[in-house]
Amino acid sequence: MTLTGPLGSYDALLFVSFGGPEGPDDVVPFLENVTKGRGIPRERLVEVGAHYTAFGGVSPINQQNRDFIAALRGAFEEAAIELPIYWGNRNWDPYLVDAIRQMRADGIERAVCFVTSAYSSYSGCRQYRENLAEAVAVVESDGQGSAPVLDKIRHYFDHPGFIEPIVEGVVAAIDELSVDSPRLVFTTHSIPTSTAATAGPRGDGYVNQHRAVADLVAERVSGLRSIEATWDLVYQSRSGPPEIPWLEPDISDHLDVVRADGSAGVIIVPIGFVSDHMEVVWDLDTVALDHAREIGLPARRAATVGTDPRFVAAVVELARERVGLTQSRALSEFGPMPDVCGRMCCPNPRGDKPALCQLA
């Protein structure tokens, strides 16, 4: 049960995600995990937890991950690849350390890791790699043997299997909105400007990669609907103290600008997210769309890629690419991103920590 090619072999895939609460009692402990070491008062966590309470204390992300893993298992079977899939989260059950411990117990020696974050940034890449290193250290500290060797699938923001479902979602939203030449408002999670500046192999990767995706999507939408798709890149879900600069503009502030400019309507395109988790269903479907209605701006939110078969197939392809069984594909000027991160790529703003899947 291995995936083997000229560049090596793997005997499992580790699905790595953020995690989320699955009941009201989980919400504050989950947020404490997410913000550990940042000194955020419990009262603030309770305030943020109200977003989850609006959905019964359940984040959609875990069920979406279960659905994706089921689809991925099916895609591996169709490709005649017998590769077991394990699942570990950064911040909630099932935790990475438990997944890696189970992999060791099952005799897994080497695994390829798929992370549900498509872009370069500290929180979207290095922090996951730090969490992997920490989990491996915990597993190996029990004296029961070595953890599996873990390699990470490269960034896939410009892979056709990611871009094509986004384009289809935008076109569907345009048809539903039914106004002339709506403006495309691409959105992603805001991060501190200081960490944005150091993201990626050469810096500024987080913003530039999102802009590349926006360009690719807008160009294809323009061709499919014979319109000139004008667009903006905006940010959402800021969570830091006000004295620290974060990427702007905020999506709701930008909707005010679009309305003042006289745009016929907007399509909100959440290119920073692979599924409809809390930052989508609350910050966009609830807050941003409510704001658009309040200011009289026709708006629709385009679908995330979710379990689209093209995206699922892309993960299979990226795993095969990692062992040299298929050529790399990328649609942007960045070309295929490196398989292994540089030592100083996306540095930790709070100081260096051990991280896996990087150059020595």
Question: Which domain CATH number covers 52?
Answer: 3.40.50.1400
What pLDDT digit, counting tens, does each position of 4-53 carry? 999 999 999 999 999 999 999 999 899 889 888 776 778 878 888 888 98
Contact 139, 101 (CB under 8 A): yes
Cα 254 to the chain's mean position, in Å?
23
Kindly state whether residues 186 and 147 are assigned to the same domain. Answer: no
Query: Is residue 239's pLDDT more than 90?
Result: no
Work out how many domains the chain is built from and give that number: 2
Residue 332 in domain: no
3-state class (DSSP) for residue 276: coil
| pLDDT at residue 58 tops 90 | yes
pLDDT of residue 235: 98
User: Which pLDDT score is estimated for 274?
Assistant: 97
Q: Which of 264, 261, 263, 232 is nearest to 249 (CA)?
A: 232
Residue 60 shares a structural domain with residue 167:
no
- 135 belongs to a structural domain: yes
Q: pLDDT-based confidence at 176, cuts 50/70/90? A: very high
Please check whether residues 72 and 144 belong to one and the same domain.
Answer: yes
Give residue 278's Cα distance to chain centre.
12
The domain of 10 spans 3-156+308-322
Beta bridge partners of 14: 86, 113
Identify whether residues 230 and 283 lie together within a single domain.
yes
Cα 256 to the chain's mean position, in Å?
27
On average, the pLDDT of the chain sits at: 95
- pLDDT attached to residue 226: 83
Please provide the distance, in angstroms rounded to a whole number, between the alpha carbons at the two ends of the chain: 30
Does 113 reside within a domain?
A: yes
pLDDT at 299: 98
Same domain, yes or no, for 164 and 152? Answer: no
What is the pLDDT, as a whole number, of residue 63? 96
Examine the domain organization and report whether 196 and 278 are in the same domain. Answer: yes
pLDDT surpassing 80 at residue 1: no
Mean pLDDT for 168-179 is 96
